[in-house]
Chain A
Amino acid sequence: DSGVTQTPKHLITATGQRVTLRCSPRSGDLSVYWYQQSLDQGLQFLIQYYNGEERAKGNILERFSAQQFPDLHSELNLSSLELGDSALYFCASSGRSGPISGNTIYFGEGSWLTVV
């Protein structure tokens, strides 16, 4: 158990809909990261938050947005869903001592999203 909790574990929704994926980081971790794993693209970094602020952005679509709340949990919002958005979405956390190199990244179990 990594200590990172993601909900829901599985989600099936229709094209055009909007979903929210939730992540609770390990206790005390200030950094939260979101990654997408699809069959054709592999694992890709989406976005990083540190203590409520956006720190780095990767290949995140404009239809997707994220935020980190004061209690450090994070949500990834996916809107106007397309078939190609079907993927496994991972949340990870790190950085009890700050967003510096040297901190192991701990992954959640992932949220399986299927768009039909």
Chain B
Amino acid sequence: KNEVEQSPQNLTAQEGEFITINCSYSVGISALHWLQQHPGGGIVSLFMLSSGKKKHGRLIATINIQEKHSSLHITASHPRDSAVYICAVNGGGTSYGKLTFGQGTILTVHP
């Protein structure tokens, strides 16, 4: 079993739909990251969470440390949201950058 599990692996939506991507992890962490990777390959950091909830535009990320679970929500989805969304966790301290990654969720939003 992977230390970081994402679901679903593939997600197809119509423009305007509310989208949720889930991430569960089995190790102790100090932070969880949501990353976005577009077809060109570049990776963008969307959120870094250690507790609670963060919002940026149409994106919302939540984390429940006790349940070792995080969700990424996209409200009013748009075709430009089509990308791979990756959950990653790190243990912190001197190993801060030692991220462990989920397998990614491929999101396709149709107009």
Contacts and interface: CB of A to CB of B under 8 A. Distances in A.
Contact of B95 (A2, A56, A105): A56
B94 A55 contact: yes
Interface in B56-111: 86, 88, 90, 92-101, 103-104
Contacts, number: 78
A48 B86 contact: no
Contact of A42 (B30, B94, B97, B104): B104
Contact of A48 (B30, B41, B97, B103): B97
B43 interface: yes
Contacts of A100: 92-93, 96
A85 B95 CA distance: 24
Interface string A77-116: 0000000000010101011000111111111111010000
| Chain B interface mostly | mixed
Contacts of B35: 107
Q: How large is the interface on A (under 10, 10 to 19, 20 to 34, 35 or more residues)?
A: 20 to 34
B19 interface: no
Contact of A2 (B41, B44, B86, B92): B44
A101 B43 contact: no
Given A42-B104, A45-B100, A101-B31, A107 B95 contact: no
Interface of B: 30-31, 33, 35, 40-45, 48, 50, 86, 88, 90, 92-101, 103-104
8 contacts: A43-B99, A58-B98, A90-B43, A101-B50, A102-B31, A102-B48, A104-B48, A105-B33
